[in-house]
Chain A
Amino acid sequence: MAVDYTQEAPVIEGNYSFRDISDIISKPMETIPDKKYFIALGISLSMFGVGILCWILTFVYGVGKWGNNVPVGWGFDITNFVFWIGIGHAGTLISAILFLFRQRWRTGIARFAEAMTIFAVINAALFPLFHVGRPWLGYWLFPYPNNYKLWVNFTSPLLWDVFAVSTYFIVSLIFWYIGLIPDFASLRERTKNKIKKVIYSIFSLGWRFSHRHWHNYEMIYLILAGFATPLVLSVHTIVSFDFAVSIIPGWHTTIFPPYFVAGAVFSGFAMVQNVLIFIRKIFNMEDIITIDTLEKMNKIIIVTGTMVGYAYGMEFFIAWYSGNPPEQFAFLNRAFGDYAWAYWIMVTCNVVFPQLFWIRKIRRNIIIMFIIGVIVNIGMWFERFVIVVTSLSRDFLPSSWDYFKPTLVDIGILLGSFGFFFTLIILFTKTLPVVSIAEVKAVLKQAQPSHHGEAQNG
C-alpha cells in the first residue's frame, strides 16, 4: 500500500465543524447512560467491592493476611505497586513528552491517558500505604516536626519513592486540571441545567477564552510539559532504585532505571490502547481517536517492548560477564528455578507477541491489537512478579529459602485494584470530556490561520 509520507496525515479524519466537535465530545455527559453502561459499571464495582473487602481484612488483621513472609517480604503488594505506577507512565508520556515533540496525534488521546495516570497512581499508592502495616500512620512518611523529634531518612530510596510518587500525582493532577479548565468553560456555556452550570462555573474558575489568557496558558502548558517529562522518567527510575540500591542478587543492577521506564511505557501504552478501543467505539469517536493514532501507539509498544527484551538479554549477559556467582545463580534460578513458569510467561508475552506489530495489517487490526495489548499487560505484571518474588525467594541464606504463595486476600486485592481503576474510568467517561474539546478544535483543518492572509475554505 502506497503511503505519501510528504504530506502529514490529518489528525482528525472527516470534515467536522467546531460545533460538531463540541457536540460529539459533550454527548456522553449530556445523555443518560444506557443499560450497557450500568452493566459495565456493575461488573467493575463488584470487582472493586471484593477489593474493598480484602483491604478491610488487611486493615483490621494486618499484613499477615497476605502471603508475604520471610524471605519474601515483598509479594503481590509491591508487584502491584510497580505495575500500576507503570500504567500511569503512558499518560504523562502522551501528554508531556509527545507534546514537547509536537506530535499532534496526541490531542485525541491525551486527556484520557492523563486521567488513567491519575487513577493508576491513586491505585498504586494504596499498596505501599498498606504495606507499611499501619496505614493510618502513613503521614509519618513525610518530614514534619513531631513530638518524637525524629526525621525521615532522606537517604533511603523508599523515601525517595514517597516524594516521587506524591509529586508525580500532584503534578499530573494539575496538568490534567489545567487542560480541563477551557473545557469546563465550554460545558458551562453549553449546559441548560442549573446545577451543572454552577458546578462547571466553579471548576472553570471563570475562564473566558481571552487570548491574553491563552497566551499565558500555552506557556504554562509548555512549562508543565517540560517539568513532567523529567519527572515521569524520574518516578520509575526511583521506583527501580527501591530494588537496584539494595544488594539482593537480581536487583542490584544499573540497567534497572532505563529498563523500568521502558517497561512502564510499554505496559501503560498497552492499557491506554485497550481502553481507547472501547471508548472510540462506544462514543462514536472513531474520527477523533483514529486508527492512525492506534497504529502509532502500537509502534511505541513495539519499540518499548523490544527495549524490554534487550534488557532481559542484557541482564543475563551481565550476570555471566560479571563473574559473580550469586548473580549468576539468581538469573539461572529465574529462568530454570521454581518460578520458571512465571519467567517464561513474561518472556513470551513481552518479547514475542509484540513483535507481531511489525506487520502493518496487525497494527491496524482492532481485535488483534486488543489481544496483544492484554497479553502485554499480563506479561508486564509477571515481569514485576518475577523481579520481586524470584530474587527474594532465593536470598543469601539457603536455610530460609521459601516458595511464595499468594493468599486469597492477595488475589482479591489484585482483582479489586482492576475494579477500582475501571470504576473510576467508567465514571470519568460520563462526567468529564474524555477528549480535550479546545485541543481538538485547534487541530481541525480550518482551525489555524493560513499564512498568506487569505481566507481558507473551511
Chain B
Amino acid sequence: MDKKLFCLAAIFDKVDDITKAAKKVAESEYKFFDVHTPYPVHGLSQKMKLKPSTLGYIALILGLSGAALALLLMYYTKTLNYPQNIGGKPTFALPAFIPITFEVTVLLASVGTVLAMLFIYFKFPNNSHPLHGTEYMDKVSLDKFGLIIEAKDPQFDEFKVKEFLGSLNPEVIMPIYYDPEDLNFKAEIFHPKFMLLLGVVIVLTAGISYILLNKWKQIPPRNWMWEQPRLNVQSSSSFFSDGFGMRTPVPGTVSRGNFPYVYSGLPDTMAKNLINPVLMNEYHLKKGKEHYNTFCSPCHGYFGKGDSRLNNQFPNPPSLHSDKLRNWTDGQIYHVITVGQNIMPSYASQLEPIERWQIVNYIRALQRALNAREEDLNE
C-alpha cells in the first residue's frame, strides 16, 4: 500500500546547526517548513523570518472589552436597574468601580488570549497530527532539533528536498508519513461510541437541569433556613392540649378585617343597594385595572368582551358590555365577584373588599369607554 508522505524531516544535534539550517530554509523557495526544538531557542524566529506575534492585539481588544463590560455592568446595575444609596456615594461611583474594572480587564484579557492562542492560533487540541507518535517527535521533545519541509509545499519534490536537507549537514534525514488510520477516519454520526457519548451528555444535562431547577432549593443544606423550631400551618403541635398547631377563633368574635358578607347564597338582586365606597378616581382605577388584568382578564378578556385567553379550556363568559350588565348596580357586580356566578368561582379569598370595588369601578370605566356618549367627545 502506498503511504501518503507528510513531510521530510532532518534532525540536528547542536543548536547552532539548527539556527543555520533555519536561516537557509527560510531563504529557500519552501514556504511550508517548521522547526521543532525541545525549548524555545532565542533568535530562531528572526532566522525563520516569522512575523511578530499578533497575540498582543488580541489581548488589547479583550482587555478593553473587559473594562467596558465591567463598567457597563456596574453602571447598569447600580444606576439604572437598582439604584441604591450606599453611604451617600453617587450611584455611579467611578473611583469605587476601578478595582473591579481592573480585575475584569485582566481576567478577560488573559483568559481570552490564552484560549485564542490554543484553540485558534494552534488549532489545539490536536493529538492526531502526523508528527505524533514518530521517532522524530520523540527526539525533538528530548534533546535534538528538527526541521521539516511539508509535502503540501507547491515547490515540494521529494528528491530535491532530500538533496537540500542533505546540504544542511543534518544527523539524519527521515520521511514522515500520514497515519493511514487517521487518513481513512471518517466521522460517523451513528457511531456507537458517539451515540453513547451523546446519550451521556443528554442524561447529564437533563439531570443536572432538573435537579437545579426543581430539587436544588429543597435539599439540605438549602432548606436549613426554613426548617426551624417553629409552628407551621396545618401541622400538629404537642404544645396545645388538643394537639393542633392552629388555633380556632375565640367564640363570638370576628377577626379584624374579616367582616362576613351577608348576602352570600342569595341572588344578586339582594345586593342591589350596596353602596360603592370607592371613589371613581385615577388611583382606584389604576388599582382596579391591575386587579382586573390579574384575576378577571384571563376569562373576560382585557376589555371585558368575553374573549377568553384560555383557548376553550373553559367556556367563554358573556360580554361585560351587554345591556343587562350595564344596567346592573355596582352592588350586583360586587356580589358576583364576591360569591361567583354559574361557573365563575368566588374571588373573596383572593381579593379584599376594597379591591373588588376597585375592579367594579374599572369595569364601569370599560363599559363607558366602549359605549361613549356624545358629551365625552368634548372633554
Contacts A19-B142, A154-B78 known; A209 to B37 CB distance under 8 Å?
yes
Asked if B129 and A208 sit within 8 Å, CB to CB, the answer is: yes
Instruction: Establish whether residues B73 and A216, one from each chain, have CB atoms under 8 Å apart when the complex forms.
Output: no
B35–A211 touching, CB < 8 Å: yes
Across the interface, which residues of B come within 8 angstroms of A214, CB to CB? 37, 39-41, 44
Chain A positions within 8 Å of B125 at CB level: 202, 205-206
Chain A nearest Cβ from B206, distance in angstroms: 22
Interchain CB contact under 8 A, A136 and B40: no
Bound Cα distance A454, B141 (Å): 24
How far, in whole Å, are A195 and B69 apart by their CA atoms in the complex?
43
Contact B109 A227 (CB under 8 A): yes
Taking a contact as CB atoms under 8 Å apart, the answer to whether B221 and A206 are in contact is: no
Kindly state the separation between the CA atoms of A134 and B125 in the bound complex, as whole angstroms: 39
Instruction: Report the Cα distance A207→B34, complex, angstroms.
Output: 14
Residue-by-residue, is A216-252 near B (CB-CB < 8 Å gives 1, otherwise 0)? 1111100110011011001000100100000000000
B158 to chain A, nearest CB (A): 22
Smallest Cβ-Cβ distance to B116: which chain A residue? A220
Asked, given contacts A19-B143, A213-B122, whether A143 binds B73 with beta carbons under 8 Å apart, the answer is yes
Which B residues are in CB contact (< 8 Å) with A449? 15-16, 19, 41-44
Among residues 403 to 454 in chain A, which have CB atoms less than 8 Å away from a CB atom of chain B?
A: 438-439, 441-442, 446-451, 453-454
User: Looking at the complex, which one of B39, B113, B222 makes contact with A447 (CB distance below 8 Å)?
Assistant: B39
The answer on a CB contact under 8 Å between B40 and A218 is yes
A163/B99 in contact, CB under 8 A: yes
B78, A136: Cβ atoms closer than 8 Å? no
Residues 190-211 (chain B) with a chain A CB within 8 angstroms: none
Listed stretches A112-120, A167-175, A271-279, A342-350; interface member: A167-175
* In the bound complex, CA of A217 to CA of B114 (Å): 9
Q: Is the CB of A155 within 8 A of B114?
A: no
- A32: CB under 8 A from chain B? no
Note all chain B residues with C-beta closer than 8 A to A157.
Answer: 99
Expressed in whole angstroms, the Cα–Cα distance for A205 and B99 within the complex equals 34
Residues of chain A lying within 8 A (CB to CB) of residue B106? 167, 171, 227, 230-231
Interface pair B143/A234, CB less than 8 Å apart: no
Given known A-B contacts A154-B74, A217-B40, A234-B103, A210 and B221 have beta carbons under 8 A apart: no
- Nearest chain B CB to A448's CB is how many angstroms away? 5
The contact of A219 among B53, B87, B100, B141, by CB within 8 Å, is: B53
Chain B residues with CB below 8 A from A453, complex form = 16, 20
Which residue of chain B lies nearest to A207 when distances are taken between CB atoms in the complex?
B124
> From A155, which residue of chain B is reached at the shortest CB distance?
B96
**Any A CB within 8 A of the CB of B50:** yes
- Cβ contacts under 8 Å, B131 to chain A: 208
Instruction: Say if the beta carbon of B84 comes within 8 Å of chain A.
Output: yes
Q: A448 to B41, Cβ gap below 8 A? A: yes
Find the A residue at minimum CB distance from B104: A163
Interface residues of B in 1-40 (CB under 8 A from A): 14-17, 19-20, 22, 34-40
With a cutoff of 8 Å between Cβ atoms, the chain B residues found around residue A155 in the complex are: 78, 86-87, 89, 93, 96-97
Docked pose: A362 CA to B100 CA in angstroms: 43
B59 within 8 A of A: yes
- B82 and A150 contact, CB distance less than 8 A: yes
Query: Does A160 count as interface, using CB distance less than 8 angstroms?
Result: yes
Residue among B19, B125, B142 with most chain A CB within 10 A: B142
CB distance from B325 to the nearest CB of A (A): 39
In-complex Cβ contact of B110 among A149, A227, A241, A438 (8 A): A227
Bound CA–CA A458/B20 (angstroms)? 17
Taking the closest CB of chain B, its distance from the CB of A217, in whole angstroms, is: 7
Task: Give the contacting residue for A224; candidates B19, B53, B110; CB below 8 A.
Answer: B110
C-beta contact mask, A151-168 vs B, less than 8 Å → 1, else 0? 101111101100110010
Q: Give B95-128 interface residues, CB cut-off 8 Å to A.
A: 96-97, 99-100, 102-104, 106-107, 109-111, 113-114, 117-118, 121-122, 124-128
> Are A17 and B97 neighbours in the complex by a CB distance under 8 Å?
no
A158, chain B: closest CB distance, angstroms: 11
Q: Name A181-220 residues within 8 Å CB distance of B.
A: 182, 185-186, 188-190, 201-202, 204-220
Question: Is the CB of B56 closer than 8 A to any CB of chain A?
Answer: yes
**Bound form: Cα–Cα A228–B71 in Å:** 21
Q: A224-B114, A441-B39, A455-B17 are in contact. Are A216 and B126 (CB under 8 A)?
A: no
| CB pair B122 A216 closer than 8 Å | yes
Q: How far is the CA of A178 from the CA of B77 in the complex (A)?
A: 35
A216: nearest chain-B partner, CB-CB: B53
Judge if B45 is at the interface, Cβ distance under 8 Å. yes
Q: How far is the CA of A55 from the CA of B364 in the complex (A)?
A: 64
Instruction: Tell me, yes or no, whether A254 is within 8 Å of chain B by CB.
Output: no
The count of chain B contact residues (Cβ–Cβ below 8 Å) is: 71
Asked if B138 lies at the interface with its beta carbon under 8 angstroms from chain A, I say yes
Q: Is B48 an interface position by the 8 A CB rule?
A: yes
**B81 is an interface residue with CB less than 8 A from chain A:** yes
A219-B93 contact, Cβ under 8 Å, with A151-B81, A160-B99: no
Evaluate whether A159 and B126 lie within 8 angstroms (CB atoms) in the complex, with A214-B40, A217-B40 already known.
no
Nearest B residue (CB) for A151: B77
* Contact residue among A153, A182, A212, A234 (Cβ-Cβ distance under 8 Å from B50): A212
Contact: B100 with A17, CB < 8 Å?
A: no
Bound complex: CA A18 to CA B15 (Å): 12
**Per-position binary interface string of chain B over residues 44-60, scored 1 when its CB falls under 8 Å from any chain A CB and 0 otherwise:** 11001010010110010
B132 within 8 A of A: yes
Most buried by A among B45, B55, B110, B117: B110
A287 CA to B290 CA, complexed, in Å:
80
Cβ distance A190 to chain B, nearest Cβ, rounded Å: 8
Q: Contact check, A209 vs B77: say whether CB atoms are below 8 A apart.
A: no
A18: nearest chain-B partner, CB-CB: B143
B150 to chain A minimum Cβ distance, whole angstroms, is 12
Q: Are B36's CB and A209's CB within 8 A?
A: yes
Quick check: is A22 within 8 A (CB to CB) of the other chain?
A: yes
CB distance from A201 to the nearest CB of B (A): 5
Point out the residue from B22, B55, B121, B225 that lies within 8 Å of A223, measured CB to CB: B55
Find out whether the CB atom of A171 lies under 8 angstroms from the CB atom of B82.
no
Q: Which of A17, A150, A206, A441 has the most CB of B within 10 A?
A: A206
Interface status of A320 (Cβ within 8 A of chain B):
no
Expressed in whole angstroms, the Cα–Cα distance for A155 and B40 within the complex equals 44
Q: Is A59 close to B, CB under 8 A?
A: yes
- A15 in the interface (beta carbon within 8 A): no
List the B side residues contacting A156 at CB < 8 Å.
86
Check if B320 is an interface residue, CB within 8 A of chain A.
no
The answer to whether A456 has its CB under 8 Å from any CB of chain B is: yes
Question: Quick one: given A143-B73, A153-B86, A206-B125, are A216 and B55 in contact (CB under 8 Å)?
Answer: yes
Task: Give the chain B neighbours of A213 by CB distance below 8 A.
Answer: 122
User: In the complex, are the beta carbons of B141 and A186 less than 8 A apart?
Assistant: yes
Question: Closest 3 CB pairs between A and B?
Answer: A18-B143, A219-B53, A155-B96
Known: A155-B96, A163-B100, A234-B99. 13 other contacts (CB 8 A): A22-B143, A134-B221, A137-B222, A154-B100, A167-B104, A170-B107, A186-B38, A190-B141, A206-B124, A209-B38, A216-B55, A218-B53, A439-B39
A sample of 21 cross-chain residue pairs with beta-carbon separation below 8 angstroms, ordered by A number, consists of A18-B38, A136-B222, A137-B222, A160-B100, A171-B106, A171-B110, A206-B124, A206-B128, A207-B124, A208-B131, A208-B132, A209-B140, A209-B141, A211-B40, A214-B37, A216-B55, A224-B114, A230-B106, A447-B39, A449-B19, A455-B14
